[in-house]
Every structure is written in structure tokens, then in C-alpha cells.
Amino acid sequence: MTAPWWKGAVVYQVYPRSFCDSDGDGIGDLPGLLSKLDYIQALGADAVWLSPVHPSPNKDFGYDVSDFEDVAPQMGGMAAFEALTAAMHQRGLKLIMDEVLAHTSDRHPWFAESLKGDEGNKPDWYVWADTKDDGGPPNNWLSVFGGAAWSYHPKRRKHYFHKFLRSQPKLNWRDPGAKAAALEVLRFWLKKGVDGFRLDVANSFLHDDKLRDNPAIPPALRGKAHWGHAPNMQKRIHDSNLPENRKVLDEVRAVVEGFEDRFVFGEFSEEPGLIGEFVGATHGLQSGYTFTFLDDRSFSPQIFAAYYRFLADRPHVWPCVTFSNHDVVRTVTRYGGGKRDDALAKLALTLLFSLKGTILIYQGEELGLGAGDVAMDEVRDPVGELYFPFGAGRDPERTPMPWIADAVNAGFSTGKPWLPVDSVHAEMAANVQEGDPDSVLNFARTTIAARREFPALITGDIEILEANDQVLAFRRFTPEQSLLCVFNLSREPAVYAMPKRSSISPFEFGPGGWGFGGGGLTLKPLGAFIGQIG
């Protein structure tokens, strides 16, 4: 059987506000994206994951939707979306929409109706609960953005649940009407020809109907990540991550698979072990990703080995694999390369393109961009506003794409950008890299093209062979092909003892930096070897 198009595909994530601005208002839009489709096609991507473009008050920049069945005028409106969809399909590119169905904006008409309580027709479309006698919230659930996950509303004399901002009330998927309306959103866009969806916080559609407190993570078990943000001190098992969440995902999948050749994957940002429940060949979503790699700052071989050994016990899970997105520190910076480290960027891309899964690559990773600088008066992200200057929030990974080094705002916009263009990013602009055969961009293009020649790298399975302090080695294989992939993730030379095989044929794939000797395969710092095993 032929594998579905998404299995092993390269999906390029576009954060439209920061991609390309066509009208000079400082905010990227869909006509701007349309003008860059040749660039995306030249990269070798199979699909584009488009972060939210619906109308929104932009308290959380599109992840607070006020109308699910329209496109924001600031993004170009529905006509621009339809033109983009047609142009992408003409190029053979798939379009994946980002849908945020676990919650809405408080400006959504559904919430306005729910505020009426029994006087309206949507009293339980959101999660309402009685207030404690002292005016406090019903339980200890904490918002991901800090503070209680409940806000009081005098109109109903109740608290409503919001996993994120108070302006993002939680949609109640336990209510049949609310669930049916959310599923209808998917049908609306599928009928318009979109090829699939990325579902925001797909682990969070259901909440505990008894509203039980989340248990605390014992202090002795807390690490830096737990102490860095108060909500991380709870085990998130009642406000989200319920095993029965799978039943909802089954229904979502049934809607998507009711249309030919479509794809749905989810974000599972908490309790990564549940991916086996929420993703499967016949249940849950078709694929999904955890934050195992996104949260990692060590670039340790053991992190990658542990994850794929975990998946080996769950062969029904086809993962999405990604090192970066709009919510986490960019790969180069997170793995210790600062603002620019082309050698690290090339190795990380090679590893990303070699691992088992559908590849998600965030805009700018193909340029090797590190985190952008954002000053205090330029912060837009609510998380940044909460912690700056201790933490800059998510703005540094959302700064605008640099297109032309010597143009105003590096070619992103002729007006003042909503976030600043980093000067180092301008030096790394796409037009500069296109003219440099050794650039990260040309490396990414070449590597993606080369990957297509190896079925084992696209749809093959994976077997971890070695994971020590320096070296990660694994085998990618199909019945017809077996590849040895060895990476030195350290900045010191390393040696890998080659497996006893009849023959090994090296490929010109990745950054190189290897040789034979010293008792095995020698790898330079940040070097990689990929070859066929006979």
C-alpha cells in the first residue's frame, strides 16, 4: 500500500504575523505569504502549517478566536485565503490550518450567549462553576499564563475556566451542542479544500467534570522547569489530559477522514506519555508531537534515544518531530549556539530530517536563526509581560523573517513591524543565503532534496543503536533499505564503534565531518555520518 502523503512529509510552519507583510501595516498577511510560495517550494516542503488567521482581538495573537468561519481582514480576508489555497494546490503544496477548538476568545458570540445563562441557548457551552463562599475559585487549577485558571463573572455569578488568558474561556466539549459546533468548524474548512489541521492543545478538550484539584508535584521531584513557572508545580491530570479525551479525538478524526486524503495532528504539550492514547493507526489523531524535544536544552543523545525507545513500545504511533515552533526558544539558541551558529544549525537540521516522523520545521530554522532581541517596551507576548526581564516570553522566536539584508526591516515590511527585526537576522537574510553555496538555507534545500532519495528516511522505522554523552546512532530501515545514522552532538571529537555488517556505503548527506580510524568511525565536533548498511 502507498503511504499517505503526510507520512514522513516536510511541513513548513508559517507564523503569518511575522512572515511577510504585503501592505505596510507592519503585520504579516496572506498576500505576503502568497508572494513567498516560490521560496517555500524551493525549500522542498510538502505542506504549510498556517498558524491561526481567523478574526481575533489578538490578546494571544490569533490563538483567541472570535469567529471560526472567517479570515481576519488584517490577514487579507477570505478572498486572500482562497487565492492562497488555489496557488498552493497549483504548486502541489498542501495547506494545513491551525485550529484552536479547546477554547475561544471572550469576544466570540458563543461566549456572549453563554453569559446569558438559562436565559440564552448556550448556558453550558463553556465551563462554568459555582464560586466558593469566600468568592474564591472552585479549585486549584492554574492558568498556563500564570494565576488561577478561573475568573469570576458577575453576569452569571459564577467562575469560568480558562486554561490560558482570562479572555480565552474554555469551550465545554462535554456539552453536545458545543462539541457539534466545534466539529462543524472542521467540516467548514475541509469543504473549502484545506488538506488538514494542526489542533492546538489537543490534550485539553475535556476537563474533569467533578472539578477535582490537580495534585502537586512533590518538591523533591521538581526541577528547574517546575520552579520556573508556578503552573508546572501541578500534575495536569484534571484540568486536561484525561484518558477519555481520546474519545473526542476519535470523533475529530472521523470528521477529517470523512474527506479524502486529509490529515490531522495534534499538539500534546503536557503528559507526553499519553501520546500513545491520543494518536494511533486506528484511534485518536493520525499523528502528533509532544514537547520532549521542544523543552530540551541539553541536545543530549539520551533525550532522543529515550523518546524513540518509548515509541518502540507503541508502534501504532506515527509521530510528528520538531525542534522549534512559535512557542519555544529557537533551536540554535536553545541548544547553546547563541544568536548564530551555522554548524549547529546544519547538524540539527540533518538530525531533524533523519528522525522517524512527519517533519515540522518552523519558519527561519532553514536560515539558522537564533532568538531575536526584544526590548522591554517592545514586548507583545502576555507571557513576556508576566516575567520580563527574567524571561522574554515567546516574542524572540516570533520576530519577523528577514528577506532582504539591506532593505527596510530586512524586507519584511515597509512599515513599523509589530515586533522588531533583529540586526543579526538581517545579516542572515534569505537573499544573502541564496547566493552563498555554504549557507544554512542552501544546506537545508540540498538535504531535503537528498532525503527524498531514501525511502527509509521518509517512511522507515527506527532502531536506536547508541546514545552516550556524545554520540547518537540509530538505524532507519524499510524491508528494502537499511541506513546507519550517526551524530556527534558534542563540540569535541568522538568515535563510534561501527556495527559488524557486510558493507557500509557512505552518502553525501548532512554536514559530513567523519572518517574511519581510531577504532571505528571518527566524528568531528557536530559531525554526522549517514550510510547504507549491506
Indicate which residue of 46, 64, 270, 395 is catalytic: 270
Q: How far, in Å, CA of 126 to CA of 119, rounded? A: 15
d(CA 400, CA 171): 32
Burial of 442 (0-12, 13-18, 19+ CB in 10 A): middle
Distance CA 56, CA 63 (A): 8
Cα end-to-end span (Å), the chain: 25
Q: What share of the chain is helix, strand, coil (3-state, %, to 5)?
A: 30, 20, 50
Q: How far apart are CA 312 and CA 206, in angstroms?
A: 28
Tell me whether residue 4 is exposed, middle or buried, using C-beta atoms within 10 angstroms of its C-beta: 0 to 12, 13 to 18, 19 or more.
middle
How many other β-carbons are positioned within 10 Å of the β-carbon of residue 341? 20
Burial class (CB in 10 A: 0-12, 13-18, 19+), 222: middle
Determine the 3-state secondary structure of 10 from DSSP. Answer: strand
Give the 3-state DSSP-derived string for 264-306, with helices as H, strands as E and coil as C. EEEEECCCHHHHHHHECCCCEECEEEECCCCCCCCCCHHHHHH
Helices 440-451, 342-354: axis angle to 10 degrees equals 20
* 29 belongs to the catalytic site: no
Listed residue (36, 37, 39, 20) closest to 28, CA to CA? 20
> Which of 99, 200, 365, 395 is labelled catalytic?
200
C-alpha cell at 480: 528494502
Active-site residue flag, 200: yes
Place of cell 515509541: 311
Q: φ, ψ for residue 474 (rounded to 5)?
A: -150, 165
Roughly what angle, to the nearest 10 degrees, separates helices 245-257 and 176-191?
A: 30
The cell numbers describing 421, all together, are 527585526
Positive or negative CA dihedral for 36, 41, 45, 48? positive
Mind telling me the catalytic residues? Answer: 200, 270
